[in-house]
Amino acid sequence: MAQTYRTRAMALIRRRDVAAGLFLLAFGAVIVAGAAGLRIGTPTRMGAGFLPLALGLLLALVGLVLTVQGARSADLLPKIVSLRPLIALILAFLVFALMVEEAGLALSTFVVVIVSGFATPGRKWRETVLYAALLALFAVLLFVVLLKLPLTVWP
């Protein structure tokens, strides 16, 4: 019996709008919790937390309605084919953020393009390295020389 309940619950969450609705419900709850720490005030003299509280409550409400709607619809969550591209992209950004001030634009660009290369499987590495160097040159020309952004080029 417990088994059936659990599988039923899992089947429900797999429905897209149920997952979406629960997400909104949770988000709304978090906002309300955060707003509770701020002064709410009255409509006449609105505190910092007034509008966030209202937003959080509304969001939770929408989430609730969406969850109920979702339980009745057949739309399922789309499959996650691969998280590799997303992770590679995020890493590329983080690397750039860490590098750009210390290592300068040229090196950061070079590394970022290499890291982005991981996003697609089956890369030809020579091509990627060459392209990275090319983009690094182009970036320096465009942003530092042409647009005169005050970015450091080398470490």
Residue selected from 1, 5, 126, 150 as contacting another protein according to rule CB under 8 A: 150
Cα distance between residue 117 and residue 111, in whole Å: 10
Q: Are 112 and 95 in contact (CB under 8 A)?
A: yes
What residue type is assigned to position 54 of the chain?
A
Distance of CA 29 to the CA centre of its chain: 20
**What x/- string results for residues 18 through 57 when contact with another protein is judged by CB under 8 A?**
-xx--xx--x---x--x---xx--xxxxxxxx-xx--xx-
**What x/- string results for residues 94 through 133 when contact with another protein is judged by CB under 8 A?**
x-xxx-xx---x--xx--xx--xx-xx--x-------xx-
Does the footprint of another protein cover residue 67 (CB under 8 A)? no
Does the footprint of another protein cover residue 152 (CB under 8 A)? no
Q: How many residues bind another protein (CB under 8 A)?
A: 69
The two tokens of residue 109 are 């660009």
Name residue 41's beta-bridge partners.
46
Residue selected from 12, 13, 85, 129 as contacting another protein according to rule CB under 8 A: 85
- Tokens 């789309």 map to which residue? 78
- Tokens 């929408």 map to which residue? 62
Q: Residue 6 Cβ, how far from another protein at the closest point, in Å?
A: 22
Hey, what long-range contacts does 139-147 have (CB within 8 A, 24 or more apart)? Answer: 139/105, 139/106, 139/109, 140/105, 140/106, 140/109, 143/105, 144/105
3-state helix, strand, coil in the chain (%, to 5): 70, 5, 25
Does the footprint of another protein cover residue 135 (CB under 8 A)? yes
Q: Which residues bind another protein (CB under 8 A)?
A: 16-17, 19-20, 23-24, 27, 31, 34, 38-39, 42-49, 51-52, 55-56, 58-59, 62-63, 65-66, 69, 75, 77-82, 85-86, 89-90, 92-94, 96-98, 100-101, 105, 108-109, 112-113, 116-117, 119-120, 123, 131-132, 135, 139, 143, 147-151
